[in-house]
Structure 1
Amino acid sequence: MQRSTIKAWFLVHKWTSLICTLFLLLLCITGLPLIFGEEIDHLLEPHAEQTASPGPARDYDEQVKTALAQYPGNVPLFVGWDPEANTMYVNTGERADTPPPQMKTALLDSSSGAVVPAAQFNEGVMYFILRLHTDLFLGLPGMLFMGAMGLLFAVAIISGLVLYGPFMRRQRFGTLRTGRSRRLAWLDLHNVIGVVTLGWALVVGITGAINTIAKPLESAWQSEQLGEFAARYAGQPRPTTLASLQAAVDTARAAEPEMRPAFVSFPGTGYSGDHHYGVFMQGNTPLTGRLYRPVLIDAVSGELTAQPQLPTYMSVLLLSQPLHFGDYGKLPLKILWALLDLLTIAVLVSGLYLWFKRGSTEARVAEIERAEKIGGTA
C-alpha cells in the first residue's frame, strides 16, 4: 500500500473515530440495559403476569370502555395484545394526534377484562434510557444525528480493518506486542478486539442507523399508500361515532386467517388515516412475527377497505429493529449481544487512550508502513 493511501485511510479512521466515539460510548452504555429491556420490565412489573388469567378474550369494545374509564376525557388511540401474558393494552390521549410521550396506557386482562397494574410505557428509568439512546430527547433531529454517528462508526470500522489488514496477514491472529511500549500494546489490543467485534459492530451500527429514519419512512408509507384511500374521503370530517372494534378485528382475521392481530390504530393517529381502523396483522413464526400486514377497515361501516402490502423499505425497517437489540434468539442471543457490547466499549475506550497518547500523523503512518513490510516486529 502506498504511503499516500495509508495516510488517507489513517486520517479517515482517525477523524471518523474521534467524531463518533463519545456518542458511541453513550449508545453502548445505554444499549446494555435495553438489550434486556423485556426481562427488566418483567422484574419491575411482577403483578402483570400474576394478575392475567388464561381463557377466552372478552369483547374488545368493552375493554376499551374500561380503559377510558381510567382516563376520563381521553380517546382511544391504539390497542394491542401480548398473547404470552394474555393482556391487552389501550393507549389513550386527549386527542387523536397525541404524541407518544403524552399518551396514557391502560393494561387489561384479556380474559377477565380487569385492569392489570402496570407502569406507563413513557415513564420511568427504562423510558429515560430509551430516549437517551434513540434521540437524546431531541426528537427527530436527535434520531438523525445519532444515525449519522452510527454511519461514521461503520466507516471507522472499515477504515480500521484496511489499516490492520497488512499486519493480520503477517502475524498470527491475536498477536500482542507487549515487549515494546504500553501504547503499542494498547494499539494491538484495540485492533484485536476491533476485529473480533467487526461483524457485530457493523450489523448493529447499520441497523441502528436504519432505525433512526423510522419516522421519515413511516411518513413516506403513509403518504404513498394511505393517501389514495384518504382521497376517497376528501372533505368529510373525521367520524365521531365508530363501528365496533371487535367486528373490525374479526373482519381482519377473516381476511388474513393465517395471521393474528398485533395492534389496531384508531382513526386520526396517522397509521390508518382519518376514516379507518388499521388492524395490523403479524405472522406466527419468529420471522413473520416481525412483519406486519395492515388491514384497513372503514371506521363507520365496519367494512373491509383494503389490504395494502408494506413496501420493501418498511419490511427492512421492521426486520432491523429486533436485530439491533438481539431480540431474535431470546435470552442466549441477548447475552451474546451484551458481551459484544462490552467488547465494543473496550474498543472505544482503548481508542480514546491511543488518541491521548498519540504521536504525529507521520510517525503513525511510518509505523503502519513498517508493520506492512516486516510484519509488525520492528
Structure 2
Amino acid sequence: MQRTTIKAWFLIHKWTSLICTAFLLLLCLTGLPLIFAEEIDHLSEPHVEHPQDTAPARNLDDQVNTALAQYPGNVPLFIGWDWEGHTVYVNTGERVDTPPPQMKTALLHASSGDVVPAPQFNEGVMYFLLRLHTDLFVGLPGLLFMGAMGLLFAVAIISGLVLYGPFMRRQRFGTLRTGRSRRLAWLDLHNVIGVVTLGWALVVGLTGAINTIAKPLETAWQSQQLGEFAARYAGQPRPTTLASLDAAVATARAAEPGMRPAFVSFPGTGYSGDHHYGVFMQGNTPLTERMYRPVLIDAVTGELTARPQLPVYMTVLLLSQPLHFGNYGGLPLKILWAILDLLTILVLISGLYLWFKRGSTEARVTEIERAEKTGGAA
C-alpha cells in the first residue's frame, strides 16, 4: 500500500478503536453473564411440579382473571408460554401502552392455574445488566448510541485487518516475539487474538447494532403492515368487552397447524392494533422458534382477520437477537461465546496498552510500511 493509504487506514483504526473501546469493554463485561441469562434465570426460578404432563391446559381467560386479581386496576397486555408449556405468564399494566419497565407479571401453572412465586422480569441483577448492556438506562437514545459503537467496532476490526493482514502472512501464525520488547509482544498478542476472534467479533458487533434498532423497526412494521388492517376500524373506539382469548388462540392454532403460540398481544399494545388479538405463532425447533407468524383475531367477534407475513427486516431482527448471545446451539455454543468474549476483552485491553505506549503517527506508519515490505516488526 502507498504511505498515504497506510496512514489513512491507521488513523481510521486508531480513532474508531479509541472511541468505542470503553463502551465495548462495558458491553463485553455485561454481556458475559447475559450469555447465560437463561441458565441463571432457571436457577432463580421456583420449582414447579408437573406430575401430569398430559393434564389439560386451564382456560386462558381464567388465567388472565387470576393475574388481574393479583394486580387490581391493571389491564392485560400480553400472555405467553414457556418453551415446555408448563407455565403461563401474564403481563399487566395500568394502561394499554405501559412500557416494559413498568409492567407487572404473574406466573401461573398452565394446568392448575396456581400462582407460581417468581421475580419480576424487570427487576434484579440480570435486568440491571441487560439495561446497562442495551441502552444505558436512557431508552432509545442509549440504544442508538450503543448501535453506533457496534458499527465503529466493526470498522475498527476491518481496518485492523487491512493494516496487519499482509504483515501477519509473513510470520508463522501465533508468533509472539517476546525477546525484543514488551510493546512488541503486546502488539503480536493483540494481532493474533484479534484474528482469532475476527469472525465472531464482526457477527456479534453487527447483530448488536441491528438489535439496537429493534424499536424503530417494530414501529415501522406496526405503522405499515398493521396500519393496513387498523384502517378498516377507523373511527371505532377500542373495544372494552373482548371475545374469548381461549377461543382466539384455538382459532390461531387451527390457522397455523404446524406452529405453536408463543405469546398473545392484547388490543392497544401496539403489536396488533386497537381491535385485534395478535396471536404470535412460532416454530417447533431452536431455529424456527424465532420465526414468528402473527395471526390477527378480531377482539370483538373472535374471527380470523389476517395472517400477515413479517417483512424481511423483521425476520433479520428476530434471527439476529439470539445469535448475538449464542442462543442457537445450547450450552456448548454459549461456552464458546463466553470464551470469545473473554478473548475480545483481552484484545481491547491490549489495544489500550499499545495506545498508551504509542509513538508518533508518522513513526507508526513507517513501522507498518516497513513490516509490510520486510515482514519485520510493526
TM-score w.r.t. the length of structure 1 is: 0.98
Structure 2 Cα separation of the partners of residues 70 and 247 of structure 1: 24
Match of 1:251 in 2: 251
Q: What SS does the aligned partner of 1:232 have?
A: helix
Shift of 1:105: 0.1
Q: Cα offset for 1:196?
A: 0.3
Q: Which residue of 2 aligns with 1:57?
A: 57
Partner of 1:75 in structure 2?
75
Other-structure match for 1:333: 333
- In structure 2, give the amino acid aligned to 1:347: V
Q: Give me the CA root mean square deviation.
A: 1.1
- Show the counterpart of 1:111: 111
8 Å CA contact 1:51–1:109 kept in 2: the answer is no
Residue equivalent to 2:294:
294
- For residues 182-197 of structure 1, what are the structure 2 equivalents within 5 Å? 182-197=182-197
Equivalences for residues 193-232 of structure 1 within 5 A: 193-232=193-232
Give the match for residue 164 of structure 1: 164
Identity of aligned residues (%): 86
Whole-Å Cα distance in 2 between the matches of residues 52 and 6 of structure 1?
Answer: 68
Q: Over residues 258-307 of structure 1, what are the superposed CA-to-partner deviations in whole Å (9 max), with x where a residue is unaligned?
A: 00000000000000000000000001122211110000000000000000
Question: CA distance change for structure 1 residues 232 and 52 in 2, over 3 Å: closer, same or farther?
Answer: farther
SS at match of 1:126: helix
| Aligned residue in 2 for 1:142 | 142
Helix, strand or coil for the counterpart of 2:111?
A: coil
Measured in 1, the distance between the counterparts of 2:21 and 2:49 equals 43
Match in the other structure for 2:133: 133
How far residue 98 of structure 1 moved from its aligned partner, in angstroms, is 0.5
- Give, in angstroms, the shift of residue 53 of structure 1: 6.0
**SS class of match (2:24):** helix
Deviations along 1:186-224, one digit per CA (max 9) or x if unpaired, are 011001000000000000000000000000000000011
- Cα deviation, 1:28-52, whole Å, max 9, x if unaligned, reads 000000000000001112x144478
Instruction: In structure 1, list runs of 5 or more residues that go unmatched.
Output: none
Q: Which deviates the most, 298-307 or 51-60?
A: 51-60
User: How far is 1:85 from its partner?
Assistant: 5.7
For 1:329 and 1:124, the matched residues in 2 are separated by: 26
Deviations along 1:136-159, one digit per CA (max 9) or x if unpaired, are 001000000000000000000000
Q: Distance in 2 between matches of 1:229 and 1:373?
A: 64
* SS class of match (1:137): coil
CA gap 1:49/1:198 in 2 versus in 1, 3 angstroms = farther
In the aligned structure 2, how far is the partner of 1:52 from the partner of 1:216?
44
Q: Paired residues, what number?
A: 377
8 A contact 1:78–1:91 mirrored in 2: yes
State the alpha-carbon separation in 1 of the partners of residues 51 and 205 from structure 2.
38
Aligned counterparts, 1:81-100, within 5 A: 81-84=81-84, 86-100=86-100
- CA shift, 1:83, in A, is 3.5
Q: Does the aligned pair in 2 maintain the 1:48–1:117 contact within 8 Å?
A: no
Secondary structure of the corresponding residue to residue 235 of structure 1: coil
Unaligned runs of 5+ in 2: none
Q: State whether residues 277 and 299 of structure 1, in contact with CA within 8 Å, keep that contact through their aligned partners in structure 2.
A: yes
Q: Give yes or no for contact 1:90–1:105 (8 Å, CA) kept in 2.
A: yes
> CA shift at 1:374, angstroms?
1.2
Counterparts of 1:50 and 1:106 in 2: how far apart (Å)? Answer: 17
Determine the structure 2 residue equivalent to 1:39: 39
In the superposition, the TM-score normalised over structure 2's length comes to 0.98
Match in the other structure for 1:321:
321
